[in-house]
């Protein structure tokens, strides 16, 4: 059965949103995020401080996509108001490794006694800080911040060793809104 669906997402007082073609741009006090919401049967519009997602004669497939669009837009609005934070713990039991940020990349030196430093880059919308034995990744875009944290964690992946003994590396201890 086909229905007309309409979902409204309030942006708040400090957040502005605008639609240019199929790209939604959301600006707030803590950053700016833009994303392409292109679908032939779903329309995204902004009116009176609300983002409106609508679909006429929506099937089950369009309802699912509309729900995904709603979640992405809600994450965008929340991210520009209060950035998403991921925390990683630096563990070095066998070799004293040093972690630093230089420019737009994270550098890990002396990981398991390696002479060549391991490096991983991150996007412009993400901020990485090192506070003692903790790496803090913040960003207005939830996906960019999460992907950066995952890249850092994956950089220190150990193979060909017993993971119960060699626990060196960087591990995610807190995701945005969740504790691990």
pLDDT in tens, 57-78: 888 898 999 999 999 999 999 9
The three-point CA angle 102-103-109 to 5° equals 20
Please give the structure tokens belonging to residue 39. 């679908």
The reported pTM is 0.87
Torsion angle of the four alpha carbons 143, 149, 150, 151, in this order, in degrees rounded to the nearest 10: 110
Integer Cα distance of 118 and 99 in angstroms: 10
Are 3-81 and 84-179 in the same CATH fold? yes
Residue 137, pLDDT score: 95
Amino acid 2: pLDDT: 64
Q: Do 53 and 6 form a contact (C-beta atoms < 8 A)? A: yes
Q: Which pLDDT does position 179 carry in this prediction? A: 65
Domain map of the chain by residue range?
3-81, 84-179
Q: Which residues of the chain have pLDDT under 70?
A: 1-2, 179-180
Fold adopted by 84-179: Outer Surface Protein A; domain 3 (3.90.930)
Fold classified for 3-81:
Outer Surface Protein A; domain 3 (3.90.930)
Q: CB atoms < 10 A from the CB of 9, how many? A: 17
């Amino acid at each position: 059965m086909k229905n007309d669906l309409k979902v409204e997402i309030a942006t708040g007082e400090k957040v502005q949103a605008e639609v240019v073609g199929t790209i939604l741009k959301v600006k707030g006090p803590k950053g700016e995020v833009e994303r392409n919401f292109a679908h032939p049967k779903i329309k995204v519009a902004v009116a009176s401080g609300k983002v409106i997602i609508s679909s006429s004669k929506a099937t089950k497939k369009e309802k699912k996509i509309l729900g995904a669009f709603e979640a992405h837009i809600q994450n965008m609005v929340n991210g520009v108001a209060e950035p998403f934070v991921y925390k990683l713990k630096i563990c070095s039991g066998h070799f004293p490794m040093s972690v630093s940020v230089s420019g737009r990349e994270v550098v890990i030196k002396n990981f398991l006694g390696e002479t060549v430093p391991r490096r991983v880059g991150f996007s412009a919308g993400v901020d990485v800080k090192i506070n003692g034995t903790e790496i803090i990744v913040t960003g207005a875009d939830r996906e960019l911040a999460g992907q950066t944290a995952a890249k850092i964690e994956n950089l220190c992946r150990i193979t060909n060793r017993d993971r119960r003994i060699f626990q060196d590396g960087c591990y995610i201890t807190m995701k945005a809104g969740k504790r691990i």
